[in-house]
Amino acid sequence: MLRTLIYRWYERQLERQVRSTPMPRHIGVLPDGNRRFARTAQLASSGDGHRRGADTIERLVRWCDELEIPVLTLWILSTDNFQRPEDELEAIFEIVEERIDGLLEMQARAQHPRRVRAVGRRDLLPARTLAAIERLEDATAGNTEAELLVAVGYGGREEIADAVRRMLADRATRGDSLEGLIAGLEADEISSYLYAPDVPDPDLIIRTSGELRLSGFMLWQSAYSEYYFCDALWPAFRRIDFLRAIRSYGHRQRRRGR
């Protein structure tokens, strides 16, 4: 009982501090540690760890809603993850499909409902999973106040390669020469062909589980992002962990290369 009271007091103190500092407009999250959590908690399978992680994702969306953070990107599945055992991948796809209705209900109740979009190589996804995602996208397409990007079948290098391919194809359709393309190529043009070019670059990127790397997450967009690494495994990630990340961001001086 006393521990709970202290926790709640500390959480309120953190929230007051967070609300008095600059707030990120876009947070990217690498929710890492589901499998390790499953082993540590002696769960029946890694799929159970991913299910616990999915619960934390839903809580995170609510925490961002409470702080009115307009854009949230979550990396659910990387292109590298497709090398994992088939039964683990099947569990992940099932969890994505199971949570679609919950996300729809959450957005229907939200004060500032989010447009939900998937970013990544959709051709890698099973047809039923892709159909569930597209149903969610269609149902939330009219939400204009906030965004939730779900990176699934995503890799930062692949995103840049796909962007360059689309740009070259467009230029070829317009009849541009290779020489003209080389002479006029600008970084902003490549940016316009990324998976979600209409959202701002992430101000803050959070990774859990104690890993100190980005593993290719939003390579192009994260040039001036602030990073926060947390030791908690993703299913054990608490609201105070989230608030600490936001507080850390609020106390930094962002120079953007200047």
Q: Mean pLDDT over residues 41-58, rounded? A: 97
Is residue 222 within 8 Å of 214, Cβ to Cβ? yes
Quick check: helix, strand or coil at residue 130? helix
pLDDT at 72 over 80: yes
* CA-to-CA dists, residue 33 to 44, 200, 237, angstroms: 16, 27, 10
Q: What is the pLDDT of residues 185-224, one digit of tens each?
A: 899 999 999 999 999 999 999 999 999 999 999 999 999 9
Q: What is the pLDDT of residues 142-191, one digit of tens each?
A: 999 999 999 999 999 999 999 999 999 999 899 988 888 888 889 999 99
pLDDT at 111 over 70: yes
Edge-first strand order for the sheet with 26-30 is 114-119, 146-154, 71-78, 26-30, 204-207, 226-229
Q: Where do the domains of the chain lie?
A: 24-155+201-250
Question: What is the average pLDDT score of the chain?
Answer: 95
Q: Looking at the annotation, which residues are catalytic?
A: 32, 81
Is residue 29 within 8 Å of 205, Cβ to Cβ? yes
CATH superfamily of the 24-155+201-250 domain: Decaprenyl diphosphate synthase-like (3.40.1180.10)
Interatomic CA distance for residues 60 and 29, integer angstroms: 10
